[in-house]
Amino acid sequence: MPIDNVLKLYAKTIRSPFLHYGFWDDPAAVDPARVNLADIAAAQQRYIEHLAGFIPENVQSILDVGCGIGGNSAYLREQGFKLEALSPDRYQEEVFQQKFDGEIPFHRSKFEKFQPAKEYDLILESESACYIKIIPGFVKAQEVLRDGGYLLAADYFVHHNDRVDSPHLKSSHNIERYLQAAADHGFKLVREYDQTENTVVTLDCAKEFFTRFVEPLLDYGRYSVERKYPRLFKLAGLLFGKHIASKKNQLDLIDSAEFRKHRRYMIYLFQKDGNA
Ligand SMILES: C[S@@+](CC[C@H](N)C(=O)[O-])C[C@H]1O[C@@H](n2cnc3c(N)ncnc32)[C@H](O)[C@@H]1O
């Protein structure tokens, strides 16, 4: 994967060092209409603080798998951990290298293909577990971790598949299949935490932003083109109508009710038991 342009878009617009959903301590107290970008960045900072609370005491070295643009690595390094990071993405590598200037070693690779030169105490998969193929991911984690080492995964997983055409059912691992594969490949589940409610607030904010700014702008653009260039408008409808309909379906991704129905945002701490 040379560059993931969706992640690049988030990095350029939100301008925080994170590429995850964030964590809201008190979801009921948040009014999405009043949230600004600084609040989103603060929720993202809170996410890694909360997630770091799951790191066992005897951990020193961490491989930040799917490190994005380095916010988690930076925080964990400040907490005294020895970091290395990995991502297959060229843009992220560039940002990461500019930020750390080689002080945190960066490996440009898919995790499944990573050739480790040493063993680590803990692998962090912060919102990257869903990008990594389940079985090759656990096989590689066995190879990369010392005996008794940990895999800390935080991500959204599918808990309910009603076979409808929902984007929530794509690009996400099935919870049961994921946990079964972990057990089958020598990983004992030692802690789990459901942070769905602390996560979906970000979707409510994205939806608020979309309905308040993006939708009216799109409507206005459509109206202007139709009025000034009616034939071009008709042609574009014929050519791109299906594509636009499929993009509308993608809007379900920022619908928190749809998220809850199909997905759970989970933290899983596994320990390598070495018997795989
Ligand atoms: C949603 S971002 C999360 C970034 C970062 N961990 C964070 O929490 O801000 C997903 C990350 O997984 C990376 N990724 C995608 N496929 C991967 C793979 N096969 N192996 C490792 N990382 C992968 C992406 O490039 C990106 O860095």
This prediction has a pTM of 0.92
Residue 246 pLDDT > 80, yes or no?
Answer: no
Minimum CA distance residue for ligand 1 atom 16: 131
pLDDT of amino acid 276: 53
The predicted pLDDT at position 7 comes to: 85
Which of 51-60, 92-101, 111-120, 236-245 bottoms out in mean pLDDT, i.e. has the lowest? 236-245
Pull the structure tokens for residue 60.
Answer: 């020193």
Q: Are residues 169 and 205 in the same domain?
A: no
Atom index in ligand 1 nearest the CA of residue 111 equals 20
Assess whether pLDDT exceeds 60 at residue 240. yes
Is residue 263 a contact partner of residue 194, using CB atoms and an 8 Å limit?
Answer: no
Give the Å distance between the CA of 242 and the centre of ligand 1.
30
Distance from Cα 7 to the centre of ligand 1, integer Å: 9
Structure tokens at 215: 């939708």
Q: Which atom of ligand 1 is nearest to the CA of 125?
A: 6
Q: How far apart are CA 94 and CA 46, in angstroms?
A: 25
Mean pLDDT of the chain: 93
- Confidence class for position 203, pLDDT limits 50, 70, 90: very high
Per-residue pLDDT of 121-152, as tens digits, reads 999 999 999 999 999 999 999 999 999 999 99
Ligand 1 atom showing the smallest separation from residue 44 Cα = 9
**Residues 64 and 188 placed together within one structural domain of the fold:** yes
Domain range enclosing 217: 201-254
Q: How many domains does the chain have?
A: 2
Same structural domain, 78 and 115: yes
DSSP assignments along the chain, one per residue: ----HHHHHHHHHH-SS--S----S-GGG--GGG--HHHHHHHHHHHHHHHHTTS-TT--EEEEET-TTSHHHHHHHHTT-EEEEEES-HHHHHHHHHHHTTSS-EEES-GGG---SS-EEEEEEES-GGGS-HHHHHHHHHHHEEEEEEEEEEEEEE------S-GGGSSSEEHHHHHHHHHHTTEEEEEEEE-HHHHTHHHHHHHHHIIIIIHHHHHHHHHHHHHH-HHHHHHHHHHHHHHHHHHHHHGGGG-HHHHHHHEEEEEEEEEE-S--
Q: How confident is the model at residue 31 (pLDDT cuts 50, 70, 90)?
A: very high
Same domain? For 132 and 245 the reply is: no
Ligand 1 center to 68 CA (angstroms): 6
Residue 120 clears pLDDT 90, i.e. is over it: yes
Four-residue CA torsion sign, 114, 67, 118, 191: negative
* Lowest mean per-residue pLDDT among 13-22, 99-108, 121-130, 224-233: 224-233
Same domain, 136 and 231: no
The verdict on 13 and 37 lying in the same domain is yes
Question: For residues 130 and 230, what is the distance between their CA atoms, to the nearest angstrom?
Answer: 44
Is pLDDT at 244 greater than 80 in this prediction?
no
Asked whether residue 96 falls in the same domain as residue 168, the answer is yes
pLDDT over 80 at 28, yes or no: yes
The larger pLDDT score, comparing residue 221 to residue 39, is at 39
* Residue 182 shares a structural domain with residue 221: no
Mutate which of 45, 106, 126, 131 for ligand 1? The one with the most ligand atoms within 8 Å of its CB, which is 131
| pLDDT at res. 226 | 87
In a shared domain, residues 125 and 170: yes
**Which pLDDT belongs to residue 109?**
98
Q: Are residues 70 and 162 in the same domain?
A: yes
The pLDDT of 2-17, averaged and rounded, is: 85
**197 C-alpha to ligand 1 centroid (Å):** 22
**What residue has token string 């480790």?**
116
Residues 136 and 218 in one domain: no
Same domain, 189 and 226: no
Separation CA 90–CA 69 (nearest Å): 11
pLDDT of res. 251: 82
Residues 53-108 have pLDDT tens digits of: 999 999 999 999 999 999 999 999 999 999 999 999 999 999 999 999 999 999 99
Which of 128, 155, 171, 173, when mutated, tests ligand 1's pocket best, judged by the most ligand atoms within 8 Å of its CB? 128
CATH for 86? 3.40.50.150
Average pLDDT score over residue span 256-266: 96
Of 10, 3, 47, give the one whose Cα is nearest residue 25.
Answer: 47
Question: What pLDDT is recorded for position 1?
Answer: 61
Distance between CA atoms of 266 and 153, rounded to whole angstroms? Answer: 8
Q: How far is the CA of 125 from the centre of ligand 1 (A)?
A: 8
Ligand 1: residues whose CB is within 6 Å? 4, 7, 18-20, 65-68, 71-72, 86-89, 92, 110-112, 126-128, 131-132
